[in-house]
């Protein structure tokens, strides 16, 4: 199973980048990170629409799309792992995780998403969200393999 993380914005060097690299190296699934950036100075709905175009073009064909969204469903780590494992068992070829821009998703992106996933009620910086989802992918792999990393 291939995993793609599609994120608006560029990750700079620093602790978040190091954490992401650490978790991706440990993850048993191949994970591709695609960074998208709207370089023109636009705001609001126009920026959301342009970012939406970039996100939609970056989603692999036939991928199951999970959009990280504050209004999405919050899952405990074990339930997240089960969802990943279920997709793996069903032969899902590709999972795509989306991290939108500061203004949120264009409605077309939400309509394309198969699942809206929340990392909690708090607002997180986008770079932290990348590190958190990479850690959860590693944790899911540990849970599915019976590794003692996860304590419940």
* Residue 150 located in a structural domain: no
- Give 69-88 pLDDT, tens digit per residue: 999 999 999 999 999 999 99
Count of the separate structural domains present in the chain? 1
* Residue 86 located in a structural domain: yes
Tokens for 58, please give them: 């970056």
- Give 104-139 pLDDT, tens digit per residue: 999 999 999 999 999 998 888 888 999 999 999 999
Whole-model pTM above 0.85? Answer: yes
Put the strands of the sheet holding 115-118 in their side by side order: 31-36, 2-8, 94-99, 64-74, 115-118
**Mean confidence (pLDDT) of the chain:** 93
* Residue 94 located in a structural domain: yes
* Residue 152 located in a structural domain: no
Decide if pLDDT at 29 tops 80: yes
- Give 9-23 pLDDT, tens digit per residue: 988 888 888 999 999
* Residue 151 located in a structural domain: no
Range of the domain at 84: 2-145
């Amino acid at each position: 199973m291939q995993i793609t993380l599609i994120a608006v914005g560029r990750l700079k060097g620093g602790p978040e980048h190091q954490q992401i690299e650490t978790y991706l190296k440990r993850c048993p699934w191949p994970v591709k990170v695609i960074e998208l950036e709207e370089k023109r100075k636009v705001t609001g709905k126009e920026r959301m629409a342009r970012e939406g175009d970039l996100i939609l073009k970056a989603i692999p064909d036939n991928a199951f799309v999970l959009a990280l969204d504050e209004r999405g469903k919050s899952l405990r780590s074990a339930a997240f792992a089960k969802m990943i494992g279920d997709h793996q068992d069903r032969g899902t070829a590709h999972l795509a995780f989306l991290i939108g821009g500061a203004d949120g998703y264009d409605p077309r992106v939400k309509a394309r998403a198969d699942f809206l996933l929340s990392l909690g009620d708090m607002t997180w910086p986008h770079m932290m969200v990348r590190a958190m989802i990479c850690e959860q992918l590693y944790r899911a792999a540990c849970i599915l393999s019976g590794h003692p990393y996860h304590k419940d």
